């Protein structure tokens, strides 16, 4: 079954191949960015990016950019 | 209540006491590009006491779609942004003591520039300068309101607004080798104004004594995505910038020619150490016969050379337009200066 998560405030269907936070970041093209991830209101340390994504997880990702 | 600030004073969280605090505030705006223009205009209209705005760049046509302090005439006159910003901000509100400084903010001058200010607004365009400002602001104990944006995406984070909160270095760990810039993905003005508004709101809250939290926030105006995190748990007790025994690593100056690729343009900047700066007049005289379109004003010398436009500023920096290649820029300059 397809999982549905809340990603940065929008509903987001997760394809079956994406099972962990790390896979989600790569799927979103954010794999090599400097970023901070929050899962269900808890900030995830980098070595916890293998955490599984569950249906209805609330995930926030903020990546750093240079401009201004 | 018909004074200039009456509608701001009517806003209960500010009130007459808050307005008085705004009046007493001395604010430093780091950069007079998109975020700096927008934030500085809001702060000047709000009636801060003093505002210093510093920028290393001159105006280009590509700036006008998002840098709200400037006009076409400023571009035609090839004015430095800090000079054009100063005159526009003074025209907006004569109550405010506005000072524009044409300079690149470096490890050598950042403490001197920040000293004497109460708040710093981030209007720079690269993460390296933000980490430099983070270190300097922490050393001086001045709150620093970070903001960054590219495309339709922006983020903000206030630093040093509450005891024991994380700094930018805690969040970033290391300087990324490459980050998104206006040069690579473009930028739209609504995200500039949104990002600057969030920074400025946090700064006004801090001035008026509101409770502050270390909240990292982002928004994408095109996709509607948004995020906000309290990042207190990211405070690193061993952070080189904000631990109990900080070493402020980004403040260490070096003695070589520094180079940077500027955001939003095909341009490389070269900065010479203080003891070997290039002077405007001798430089103009030495290149007169080999360059075309040589122009001079009290702030700079510009010319065309081998399909590149070069601009030398009075403070000793040079911009090489038409390349992102640092080595190529160094070569062109070495060709002219030996
Ligand atoms: Zn820190």
Q: Tell me if B248 sits within 8 A of B138, measured CB to CB.
A: yes
* B177 pLDDT above the threshold of 70: no
With CA atoms as reference, the chain A residue closest to B173 would be A34
* pTM (2 d.p.): 0.84
Return the pLDDT at B272: 80
Domains defined along chain B, listed by start: 3-251 (3.40.50.720), 257-337 (3.30.310)
CA B5 to centroid of chain Cα atoms: 27
Query: Are the C-beta atoms of residues A64 and B172 closer than 8 Å to each other?
Result: yes
Supply the residues of B annotated as catalytic. Answer: 182
Of the candidates B147, B224, B229, the beta carbon closest to that of A68 is on B147
Q: Which of A47-56, B131-140, B305-314, B322-331 has the lowest mean pLDDT?
A: B322-331
The domain covering A3-63 belongs, at the CATH homologous superfamily level, to Beta-grasp domain (3.10.20.30)
CA B87 to chain centre: 18
pLDDT of residue B338: 61
CA–CA distance, B231 with B241 (Å, rounded to integer):
16
End-to-end C-alpha distance for chain A, whole angstroms? 42
| Better-scored residue on pLDDT, B39 or B174 | B39
Residues of A in contact with B157 (CB under 8 A): none
CA distance B215 to A40: 16
> In 3D, which of B52, B3, B60 has the Cα closest to residue B28?
B52
Q: What is the pLDDT of residue B183?
A: 61
Q: Please determine, for residue B275, whether its predicted confidence score (pLDDT) is greater than 70.
A: no
Average pLDDT of chain B to the nearest whole number = 91
> How high is the pLDDT of residue B324?
87
Lowest-pLDDT range of B92-106, B159-173, B271-285, B317-331 = B271-285
User: Nearest-5° angle of CA B315, CA B35, CA B113?
Assistant: 35
**Assembly ipTM:** 0.94
Q: Report pLDDT digits (tens) over B298-329.
A: 899 999 998 899 999 988 899 999 998 877 88
Instruction: Give the separation between CA B267 and CA B324, rounded to whole angstroms.
Output: 6
- A40-63 mean pLDDT: 95
**pLDDT for B224:** 96
With tokens 């903020």, the residue in question is A62
**pLDDT tens for residues B10-68?**
999 999 999 999 999 999 999 999 999 999 999 999 999 999 999 988 999 999 999 99
pLDDT at position A18, please?
95
* B73-100 residue pLDDT tens: 999 999 999 999 999 999 999 999 999 9
Domain ranges of chain A: 3-63
Is residue B226 predicted with pLDDT exceeding 90?
yes
Nearest to residue B33, comparing CAs of B156, B184, B145, B189?
Answer: B189
* CB-based burial label for B300 (10 Å; 0-12, 13-18, 19+): buried
What is the model's pLDDT at position B128? 79
Say which residues have a Cβ less than 8 Å from residue B154's Cβ, sequence separation at least 6: B147, B148, B191, B192, B194, B195, B198, B218, B219
Cα(A35)–Cα(B237) distance, rounded to whole angstroms? 20
- Please tell me the distance between residue B171's alpha carbon and the centre of ligand 1 in angstroms: 7
Res A47 pLDDT > 80: yes
Of residues A8, A38, A65, nearest to B179 (C-beta): A65
- Taking CA–CA distances from B128, the nearest residue in chain A reads A66
Say if the Cβ atoms of B148 and A65 lie within 8 Å: yes
Q: Measure the CA–CA gap between B138 and B134, rounded to whole angstroms.
A: 6
Residue B254 above 80 pLDDT?
A: no
């Amino acid at each position: 079954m397809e999982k549905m998560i809340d990603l940065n405030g929008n509903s987001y269907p997760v394809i079956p191949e994406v099972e962990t936070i790390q896979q989600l970041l790569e799927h979103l093209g954010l794999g090599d960015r400097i970023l901070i991830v929050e899962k269900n209101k808890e900030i995830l340390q980098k070595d916890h990016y293998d955490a599984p994504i569950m249906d209805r997880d609330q995930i926030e990702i903020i990546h750093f950019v240079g401009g201004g | 209540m018909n004074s200039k600030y009456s509608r701001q004073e009517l806003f209960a969280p500010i009130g007459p006491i808050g307005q008085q605090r705004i009046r007493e505030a001395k604010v430093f705006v780091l950069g007079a590009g998109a975020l700096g223009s927008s934030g500085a205009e809001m702060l000047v209209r709000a009636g801060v006491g003093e505002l210093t705005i510093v920028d290393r760049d001159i105006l280009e046509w590509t700036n006008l779609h998002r840098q709200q302090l400037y006009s076409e005439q400023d571009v035609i006159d090839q004015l430095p942004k800090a000079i054009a910003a100063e005159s526009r901000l003074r025209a907006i509100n004569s109550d405010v003591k506005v000072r524009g400084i044409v300079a690149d903010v470096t490890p050598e001058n950042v403490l001197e520039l920040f000293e004497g200010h109460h708040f710093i607004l981030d209007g720079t365009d690269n993460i390296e300068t933000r980490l430099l400002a983070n270190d300097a602001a922490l050393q001086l104990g001045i709150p620093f309101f970070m903001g960054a944006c590219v495309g339709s995406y922006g983020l903000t984070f206030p630093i040093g607004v509450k005891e024991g909160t994380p700094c930018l270095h805690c969040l970033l760990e290391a300087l990324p080798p490459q980050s998104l810039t206006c040069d690579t993905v473009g930028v739209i003005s609504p995200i500039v104004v949104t990002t600057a508004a969030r920074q400025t709101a946090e700064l006004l809250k801090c001035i008026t004594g509101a409770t502050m939290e270390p909240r990292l926030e982002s928004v994408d105006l095109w996709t509607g995505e948004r995020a906000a995190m309290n990042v207190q748990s990211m405070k690193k007790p061993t952070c080189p910038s904000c631990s109990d025994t900080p070493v402020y690593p980004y403040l260490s100056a070096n003695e070589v020619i520094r180079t940077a690729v500027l955001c939003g343009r095909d341009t490389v900047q070269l900065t010479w150490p203080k003891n070997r700066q290039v002077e405007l007049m001798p430089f103009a005289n030495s290149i007169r016969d080999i360059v075309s379109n040589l122009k001079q004003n009290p702030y700079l010398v510009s010319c065309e050379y081998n399909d590149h436009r070069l601009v030398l500023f009075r403070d000793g920096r040079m911009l090489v337009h038409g390349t992102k290649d640092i080595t190529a820029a160094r070569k062109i300059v070495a060709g002219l200066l030996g």
